[in-house]
Structures are given as structure tokens and as C-alpha cells.
Structure 1
Amino acid sequence: MALFGKPKAGGFMDEIRCDEPSYLIWKWHPAGSQAGNNNRENAIRWGSSLRVKDGEVAVFVYNQKNGIMQDFIEGPYDEIIKTENFPVLASIVGLAYQGGTPFQAEVYFINLARVVQIPFAVPYFDLYDPRYLDFGVPTAVRGKLTFNIADYQGFIKLHRLASFDLNAFQTQIRDAMSRYVKSIVTNVPAEKNIPVMQIERAIAPINEAVEANVRERFERDFGVNITAVDINTIEVDKTSEGYQQLKAVTQDLVAATVQAQTEVNIKNMQDMQRINAKNMEETMRIQREEAQYAQRKQTQSSNFAAYQLEQQAAVGIAGAEALGQMGANGATEMSGGGGMNPAAMMTGMAMGGAIGQNMAGMMNGMMQGMSGQQPGTQQPPQGMTPPPIPNVAYHVVQNGQAAGPFDMATLSQMVSAGTLTKDTLVWKQGMADWVKAETVQELQPLFSSSVPPVPPQA
């Protein structure tokens, strides 16, 4: 025997669907039924059709002896009610419903696509700055909450569908939102470090904190999904006594802070200027010393022969002083046996003679180079002052570049060192062009003084 037979003749089938233009939860009633008549109000004929649009869910609620049972049909759906489509029907509908006898079930449509917006307002409450707890500032908050039903099974567990009233539900949502927002805004000055005097400009961080806080609460307490929280206004009663007192205190604090910061900035600027001046002075001192050092080196390079003579003279003077010390300690002091020290005397005489000979040779060479006189030439008579020695200086080509000028003594040393040859190009003031050194009559003696090669032995 089939679970359901054919409906009796003359019977009519129901079409279960929701045509409400705007709803969140809506209960379906059979055609011609009367509210309060449970037998007919919830009677559904077997073979009726069910139509559920996309974004809807139809909930069939069966009251049985062992409790309430439910079937959930998500849209889109458009079929005849059958046991294979309704698993619960197979267990609750018995042979008593053969012949078209209707079965009892409440049918609710839940709009999953509906987005509900509820305005909320938190009336004036005293808001305290944690730094000045003596001054309460009346503050109000206004905004809008947007939500929908995402978990319909969780929503049904929290609400009785038979007595669900959207207006009452929105009132519950609005009251809860006001409590949550007031609690959050009250703690914002301390937790977010936002002064009460600036609370009106802090809508963005407060809105973010409110949305993060109420989302979990509303899902747990009401079974709805918060999609947006929009705080439109945070209004402070600026005519209140608390606001005026707090404003006066904070203005004094701001003025003191600005003054202190200005003093710090001025001190920092003065310190920076002092440090910069000190650094500039040190930098200029270093640059000055480096310039003086470079100038000395340049002077020494330009007057190399005179500088060399000066250094050699210093060496001679130091040698003479050492000779005198040796003579004093070695030649005049008595030894422990009362005699003279011959070894010290001989050493002192040898060193003194060598240094003296070296100095005499240097002086003689310098004088010859400076005057151009050959050894053995006649000296000016005593009592007569000789005329000044002319300053003869030549530029010399070395490594393809001009060097000098060099005086005659330096040129003589360069000939000895081999850095000046007969073919070297030279030039001095008054000459038209560079010429070879051997063609300059004044320089020819420098080359003729070289020692001739030793003749071969017979």
C-alpha cells in the first residue's frame, strides 16, 4: 500500500509560497483558513506545491508527541511536496492521512536576502576625561545599524517563529545597540587616549570599535549578522557647565604645553647653533692649518736648494755640538786613574774633522754655484762689498712637463744625479723659446766639470 493515496474527488491542492514585497519572517496560511483554528490553519493537503524564491528558506514545523520537528527548504525550489523531498514527512505521516487527509504543519518563510536598517540613538549621558574626572560632559550618539539573517537555523533556535513580531524585534535590537554604544563610548577616552574635547572628531575610531564589539554580541544574542554600523553624530552639549569647566582647564594646559614646547624648541635651536659654530670654527682651523702646511711644502719645493742647505747646516751644527761634548767629556776630564782618555779624544777629533770637512765642502760648493766662480779665481779685495749675486733660475722639461725654476746650485746637483743632460730643454725669463741645455753658454760649465772617462790600460 502506498504511503499516500489519491486525494478525494472534489478536493483542492494548496500552493505554498510567499508574495510579500518586504518581510523578514512571514507565516503562510492555507486558503480560507482562520487564525486561531489550529486544525484548519496549519492543515496542508498532500500533493500541494511549494515555491521558494532564491534568497528565501521555507521552514516546516511539525508538532509531535516526541517534540517539535522541522524541515528546511532553501530556494530556489518549485515542486510538489513528496516524502522524498521532505525527510521528516516519512516519519510523521501515517496511514491516517490516506485518501487526501491533510497533515498539520506550520510554514514560515525567512528572507535571507533582506537587509534591515535600524536607526539608533543614545540620549545624553555624562562622559568623563580620565585626566579630569570632576567634569562630566553630556554627550549623545546617533547612527544606523544594518543586519540580515545569515544562520537561519541559529536564528530559529533563539526566536519563536509563531509569535515573531518584526517591530518588537527591531525595538530589542535598538535598545541593545544603545546600551552597547554607550558602554563603548564611555571607555573610549581612557582606552583610545582620545580627549573628551576632541570626541566629536573621533567618529572613525569609535565606529570601528563599536562595530567590532557588537558584531559578536548580536550574532550570539539575536542570531543576526551585522553588516554595517554607521555612527553619524557624536554630539557634545557645549552649553553645559561640565563642558565649560573642562574647556577652561584644557585651554590653560594647552597654553602651558605650547609655552614649554616653545622654550624647548628655542633651547634646541640655540644648542644647535652653538654646536654648528663650534664645528665651523674647528673646520676653519683645520683648513687654515692644511693651507699653511701646503704653502710651506710649496715654498720648500720652489726653493729646494736653499731648504737642502738649511737642513745640512742643521746637521753640521748638531755634529759640532756633539763634537764639543765629546771633547769636554773625553779630552779634558780625567779618567779614574787621573790620566786623559785617549780613545774618546781620538773619536771626537775624527768626528769633528769629518763633519767640519763635510760642512766646508758644502759651503764651498754652494758659494761656487751661487757666484759661478771656479776654484782658484780671484776674490774681491778686503774692505770692498761685492755686488749681489744675480738670481739665475731655469725651468727644465722633465717627463714632458715644465719643472722649476731651479737655481745654478740645484742644476749642478741635477747634472750629478743625471736628471739634467745636455739634451734637456731649458728656459728662463728673457728667452724666446725652449732650447737644449748644451746650447746655453751659462750652463755649459755644468757639463764640462764632469770627470772624463778613464783611458784604457796598456
Structure 2
Amino acid sequence: MGLFDKIKEKLTNEFIDIVEWLDYTDDTIAHRFERYQNEIKNGAKLIVREGQAAVFVNEGQLADVFTPGSYDLTTQNLPILTTLKGWKYGFNSPFKAEVYFVNTHLFTDEKWGTKNPITLSDERFGLVEIRAFGTYAFKVSDPGKFIIDIVGTDSNFTNFEINEHLKSLIATRFTDTVGEANLPIELYAANTSELSETCQEVMQPEFTSVGISLERFYIENVSMPEELKKEIFEYSRIDKLDLDKLTKFKTAKAIEAAAANEGGTAGAGMGMGMGFVLAQQMGGMMSPQMGGQQPMQQQAPGVPPPMPAQTQYFYAANGTQQGPVSFEQLKALFASRTINRDSLIWKQGMANWTALKDVEELKSFLGGNTPPPLPQQ
């Protein structure tokens, strides 16, 4: 082989005549075809496999986009690049252009979640906090826009690089959506399917603006503090049960707890009194169901009558209902400044919640029991 033939072979081998990309990963979204300063040969073959798109970029400008198929790179198949290059009458020499292969298949099981609690206002429970997490799936719907707006000059762009941006976007739009939904707090966890569909619809334009399509969006769980859960469960029971019966039951439980804490003879006496009170209350509850009037219970000889039940108070603290507590316990809470003169108080027989300062028997907490000064002599 002569010197001229060796130079010709060397120059020929520098030209790329097959442009393709075999993806051996499962997380690459965009890959730049590396030429190592080699030029693409006129008439070279471009192979775009299923689940791919090929994007040609000339000096930062989007040129041609190819869907799956096999192409001969000529002026007929590169109309925009031909215009940008100024090839008015075709070309016969190799050319340079950046070629990006984009994965257009579905990227599934991507995780999202709220980094911080979301604060919502509920008309019954006041300000409450919730968290949420789930999964989503996306794919590149506009490869050209995605390359220009997101990838830029990155030679190997993975879904890890875009996921942080997408998760922040999802958390922001999710917060806005649940805030505007104005649902009762207990319905967020019970309506995750409907809420997921609404969130996907709200987020879709944000994804589309960068060439991505949000294909699936799932809310797997909406969580809240355990204290709030207990209040919601209690509220739901109150809503279903007779309030008077529930109050009597709570009173009996409170007396039972007090008896257990006292200990000794006093505790035993309190427990016995609680038993009589509870028996009377349960008998009163069952009377309407049994029909007719029940005969009065006969007092056993030598047994004192049951102790009267203490008045039980409910109070509001930090926007939540607390209690019931006894008069002395309420007084201790006032002394420790857990509650104040403006704290809302409710007991059985009161139509509405009332400020502590306006409850007659609680005004003694505020002072005013000091006698006036002696008259002048």
C-alpha cells in the first residue's frame, strides 16, 4: 500500500458513517453522541431505536429531531440543519453537529414527598399539619425542548439530575392544591385517588413547559400527628353518638381514673362510688330501650348513697379540645398558666363554649376574693 493510500484510509476512518446509541443503563435520559473531533460523513446512516429520539443541535440552536427509524443523513433528511449551515445546493463534504439521543420511554416509580409539614386551617380543629408522599412516572414528550431548556451541554443527563427539580415542583403544587381544596381534614387521607387526579391535572402544564409529560401521579399516604388523629376519631364518634350519653361515659371514666390514682381506702371508696354512679347512668341509658319505667333501685341496708359526680370541664388549648378535668385540676391548669382568663371552657349544660372569666364558678380563679380595706376611723 502506497503512502497516498495510507493517508486516504486514515482520513476516511476519521469520518463517522454510523450514528447510533446503545443504552446499557436504566436511568439515562439524554446522551450526547461523542465524535472525538471526528466529523459526520455525508450520507452517514442514523439509527434511532424504539424508545429513542435523536436531536441535532447546531451552535446551540435546535435543528432536526428524528423519531425511531433508519435515515441517510443528506440535505433531504436534514432540512433545518441545511438551512442553518447555508447548504443551498447540497453538500458533499463531512459536517459537524451535536447529536443528542433522548430516551422517550416511561420512567416509573419515582419518589416524591413533602420535606416540611403543610399547615392547613380547619374550621373545627384550627391550624393543623399534614405530610404526604407517593410516586410518579414521567417521560420526555418534546425531545427538542427538553434538550435546549434542561439538558444544555450535559453529555450524559440522568433522571437523578431532573428528579430534584421535579420533586420540588410537585411539593409546591401539591401544597397549593390541598390548600385550595378546603376539604375537612379527615377527608384528605380518605380521598387520595381523587386528590391524586386533581394534582396531576394541576401539575401537567409545569411539566409540559420543559418538554416532559407527567404520566402518573399517586398519593400513597397523607399523615398527621397522632394527637390530631385521636381528636378526629373522637369527633367522629361524638358526631355519631348521643352527646349526653358520651358525656356520662367520659365522667365515669374520669372518676375511675381518679380512684385508681388515689389508692388506699379513699381510692376504694371512690371506686365504689364510681361503680354506683356508672350503674345508675347505664340503667338510665337502657331504660328507653327496655320500654316502660324501671323500678327504682333499692338501697342496700348499711350502704351509703353514691357520691355525687364531680363537675367535669372541657377547655381549649393550642386550638384543640382538652379534658375533661375536675374543678381542682382546672384551677391547677390556670395557676400553671396553661390556660388563662380568655380560654374557652365548656361543661355539660352550657349551650356554647364560654371564656373562663365569664363562667360564674370559675371567677374565683381571677382573684377578687380579698376583702376591701377597712373604713377610716
| 1:50 matches 2:46 | yes
Change (3 A) 1:251 1:20: same
Higher relative contact order (CA 8 A, sep 6+): 2
Instruction: State the partner residue of 1:131.
Output: 123
| 1:29 matches 2:25 | no
Query: C-alpha offsets along residues 62-85 of structure 1, whole Å, 9 cap, x if unaligned?
Result: 12xxx7251222221143x22222
| 1:74 matches 2:67 | yes
Per-residue deviation at 1:123? 3.9
Instruction: State the partner residue of 2:204.
Output: 215
Distance in structure 1 (CA, Å) of the matches to 2:91 and 2:29: 35
Query: C-alpha offsets along residues 2-61 of structure 1, whole Å, 9 cap, x if unaligned?
Result: xxxxx954312422101013332111012xx2xxxxxx16x3233432111133221111
The answer to which structure has the higher helix fraction is 1
Per-residue deviation at 1:98? 8.2
Corresponding letter in the other structure for 1:19: L
Corresponding letter in the other structure for 2:130: T
The answer to which structure has the higher strand fraction is 2
Per-residue deviation at 1:227? 1.1
Change (3 A) 1:58 1:247: same
Equivalence map 1:175-214=2 (5 Å): 175-188=168-181, 190=182, 193=183, 195-214=184-203
Per-residue deviation at 1:203? 1.5
Q: TM-score, normalised by structure 1?
A: 0.44
Distance in structure 2 (CA, Å) of the matches to 1:159 and 1:16: 23
| 1:19 matches 2:22 | yes
Instruction: State the partner residue of 2:144.
Output: 153
Instruction: State the partner residue of 2:97.
Output: 105
Instruction: State the partner residue of 2:222.
Output: 234
Q: Which has the larger radius of gyration?
A: 1
Corresponding letter in the other structure for 1:75: P
Corresponding letter in the other structure for 2:64: D
Per-residue deviation at 1:202? 2.0
Q: TM-score, normalised by structure 2?
A: 0.53
Per-residue deviation at 1:119? 0.8
Query: C-alpha offsets along residues 266-321 of structure 1, whole Å, 9 cap, x if unaligned?
Result: xxxxxxxxxxxxxxxxxxxxxxxxxxxxxxxxxxxxxxxxxxxxxxxxxxxxxxxx
Distance in structure 2 (CA, Å) of the matches to 1:82 and 1:9: 23
Distance in structure 2 (CA, Å) of the matches to 1:16 and 1:251: 68
Unaligned runs of 5+ in 1: 1-6, 34-39, 260-458
CA contact (8 A) 1:135 1:246 kept: no
Instruction: State the partner residue of 1:418.
Output: none
Query: C-alpha offsets along residues 120-157 of structure 1, whole Å, 9 cap, x if unaligned?
Result: 01245255453225342x32211111111122234345
CA contact (8 A) 2:64 2:80 kept: yes
CA contact (8 A) 1:151 1:224 kept: yes
Question: Of residues 69, 73, 76 in structure 2, which corresponds to 1:84?
Answer: 76
Distance in structure 2 (CA, Å) of the matches to 1:258 and 1:105: 81
Equivalence map 1:313-392=2 (5 Å): none
Aligned residues: 230
CA contact (8 A) 1:8 1:99 kept: no
Distance in structure 2 (CA, Å) of the matches to 1:233 and 1:69: 42
Corresponding letter in the other structure for 2:32: K
Instruction: State the partner residue of 1:271.
Output: none
Unaligned runs of 5+ in 2: 1-6, 246-377
Runs of 4+ with >4 A deviation: 97-100, 242-251, 256-259
